[in-house]
Amino acid sequence: MSIAFYNTYSRKLEQFQPIDPPKVKLYTCGPTVYSFAHIGNFRTYIFEDLLQRHLETRGYEVERVLNLTDVDDKTIKGSHNAGMPLPEFTQQFKDAFFEDIKTLRIKPAQYFPAATDAENIAKMIEMIRILMEKDIAYLAEDQSIYFRINRFPNYGKLAHLDLDELRPSGRVRNDNYEKENIGDFALWKAWDEEDGSVGWDSPWGKGRPGWHIECSAMAARILGPQIDIHCGGVDNIFPHHEAEIAQSEGCTGHQFVRYWLHSEHLIVEGQKMSKSLGNFFTLRDLLNKGYTGREIRYALLRVNYRLPLNFTFDGLAEARQSLLRIDEWRQRLADLAHDATPDQEYAPAKSDAFFAALDDNLNISAALAELFDQIRATNKQMDQEALKPAQAAALLKWWDGLNNVLQLQKSEEPIPAKVQELLAKRAAARTNKLWSESDAIRAEIEQLGWTVKDTKEGQKAAPVKVH
């Protein structure tokens, strides 16, 4: 078994070799908590979850950090508009994020550091001080500290950019004349009135960190000076990850990250799903439309991470049908297997093919094709009554291994709130013998892609299966 990943830095597929196996240090850029994360963001977190779970299946011990950006221009502006102190404002979105990753069955990271934690701010200040001492950073007229990109020869290597082409990024304070080079970015932003009560003391006066130094500092404090894998969406490559490399390597003089993995965007009609374009859905929007967490997980997981994924409701409906096919297959196997013990002799002929596909730069589409080939073949055998109970048991065991990575097994998932609300209304209508109202509510439930059956125990709701 050998795993290969496409490294954005080298633009090559490389054999994966961690620094200190079986340990793998993984840093993943987390949400900016100024509103609810959208499902584009979750595409990236689900890709990272697949990465972690596959590495664990292959025997690695993954130590993962997922940070929370809880101070930057957007969070400050948001708290100001809401008339709330920054910590209170961001807390509601942190809570929502933790709830959402649970719904999507994303394994929690060991560390969820927040930029404003005192020990992280201290680490940022320590790193900026080192960069100042080395003359890689400077104090500008506006009392902010900037990174001097001309002092870091490798600047631009990750994004494969020509230094002359650098344009200022959106997260840099706007007045360029204060900087030596238009591409220099802020490490520490001097306090101004718009910052209100937000600010920390530093050797350079009161201020707040730039976004990029937050991640460099949290990675170094928790994982140390060198990490194995760093992930994010492709929009993070420049300037954010380029800047992280410059800061971290500027401080230590050593390589910061061995493998850079970036997921392509979730797109809507050819454009990146984003808050600023207003073309986004939050997880909650989709739950309210009657989709479940596992359906949304599957819809976001099933396309290889280096390909753009087009978001459509047809895609979600397909995800639902694929899952129902898996459920039905598992149920048939379970009925057949009863108490039979799995016999290794009966394991699927290509039992490792699913994981071998994931070894190849997480080729999830090839891995899922293996699963559905297996489903097709064994369904046929069951139709012909040619599958033995011990074989069925072996296939269920094989599925358990796959599901450790996929996390798609049916469970008693909560029925979406909107469907529950309609079920309650329908139950009330039926108690009052308002049959036409009950039928109208049933139609509304069906519009959300759910069926309802009336049984002795009451109403039973399930997602609609299309044959």
Q: Is the separation of the CB atoms in 291 and 462 below 8 Å?
A: no
Tell me which stretch binds ligand AMP (CB under 6 A): 148-156, 177-185, 260-268, 442-450: 260-268
Contact between 29 and Zn ion by CB under 5 A: the answer reads yes
Which H helix or E strand runs over 229? strand 227-233
- Beta bridge partner(s), residue 233: 263
Q: Is the separation of the CB atoms in 44 and 233 below 8 Å?
A: yes
Contact between 101 and ligand AMP by CB under 6 A: the answer reads no
From the list 156, 207, 209, 232, which residue makes contact with ligand AMP (rule: CB under 6 A)? Answer: 232
Tell me which stretch binds Zn ion (CB under 5 A): 21-29, 91-99, 161-169, 196-204: 21-29
Give the side-chain half-sphere CA count within 13 A for 142: 20
Tell me which stretch binds ligand AMP (CB under 6 A): 35-43, 101-109, 112-120, 252-260: 35-43
From ligand AMP, Zn ion, none, which one binds at residue 215 (CB under 5 to 8 Å depending on kind)? Answer: Zn ion
Contact between 124 and Zn ion by CB under 5 A: the answer reads no
Q: Using the minimum distance from each CB to Zn ion, give the nearer residue, 30 or 463.
A: 30
Contact between 187 and Zn ion by CB under 5 A: the answer reads no
The secondary structure of residue 282, as a DSSP letter, is B
In angstroms, give the least distance from the CB of 439 to ligand AMP: 40
From ligand AMP, Zn ion, none, which one binds at residue 226 (CB under 5 to 8 Å depending on kind)? Answer: none
Contact between 231 and Zn ion by CB under 5 A: the answer reads no
Residue 176 and residue 167: Cα distance in Å, rounded? Answer: 11
Q: What does R_g of the chain's alpha carbons equal in angstroms? A: 25
Q: Is the separation of the CB atoms in 307 and 363 below 8 Å?
A: no
**Token representation of residue 271:** 């454009």
Q: Using the minimum distance from each CB to ligand AMP, give the nearer residue, 361 or 391.
A: 361
Number of residues that bind Zn ion (CB under 5 A): 2
In angstroms, give the least distance from the CB of 211 to Zn ion: 7
From the list 75, 236, 322, 374, which residue makes contact with ligand AMP (rule: CB under 6 A)? Answer: 236
Tell me which stretch binds ligand AMP (CB under 6 A): 25-33, 184-192, 323-331, 339-347: 25-33
Residue 152 and residue 138: Cα distance in Å, rounded? Answer: 13
Contact between 233 and ligand AMP by CB under 6 A: the answer reads yes
Q: Using the minimum distance from each CB to ligand AMP, give the nearer residue, 24 or 273.
A: 273
In angstroms, give the least distance from the CB of 41 to ligand AMP: 4
In angstroms, give the least distance from the CB of 211 to ligand AMP: 8
Q: Using the minimum distance from each CB to Zn ion, give the nearer residue, 244 or 295.
A: 244
From the list 179, 221, 241, 265, which residue makes contact with ligand AMP (rule: CB under 6 A)? Answer: 265
Residue 208 and residue 71: Cα distance in Å, rounded? Answer: 8
The secondary structure of residue 165, as a DSSP letter, is G
**Token representation of residue 309:** 């994924």
Tell me which stretch binds Zn ion (CB under 5 A): 101-109, 210-218, 253-261, 274-282: 210-218
Residue 106 and residue 90: Cα distance in Å, rounded? Answer: 21
- H helices of 168-266, in order, are 211-223, 242-252
Kindly tell me the sign of the dihedral angle through the C-alpha atoms of 365, 22, 294, 351: positive
Residue 13 and residue 260: Cα distance in Å, rounded? Answer: 11
Contact between 266 and ligand AMP by CB under 6 A: the answer reads yes
Contact between 297 and ligand AMP by CB under 6 A: the answer reads no
In angstroms, give the least distance from the CB of 5 to ligand AMP: 17
Number of residues that bind ligand AMP (CB under 6 A): 17
Contact between 44 and ligand AMP by CB under 6 A: the answer reads yes
Residue 139 and residue 178: Cα distance in Å, rounded? Answer: 10
Residue type, 101: I
Kindly tell me the sign of the dihedral angle through the C-alpha atoms of 316, 320, 325, 327: positive
From the list 7, 41, 282, 374, which residue makes contact with ligand AMP (rule: CB under 6 A)? Answer: 41
Residue 139 and residue 147: Cα distance in Å, rounded? Answer: 9
Residue 427 and residue 72: Cα distance in Å, rounded? Answer: 48
From the list 215, 392, 394, 422, which residue makes contact with Zn ion (rule: CB under 5 A)? Answer: 215
Residue 249 and residue 62: Cα distance in Å, rounded? Answer: 23
Interface with ligand AMP (CB under 6 A): 29, 31-32, 40-41, 43-44, 232-233, 235-236, 263, 265-266, 272-274
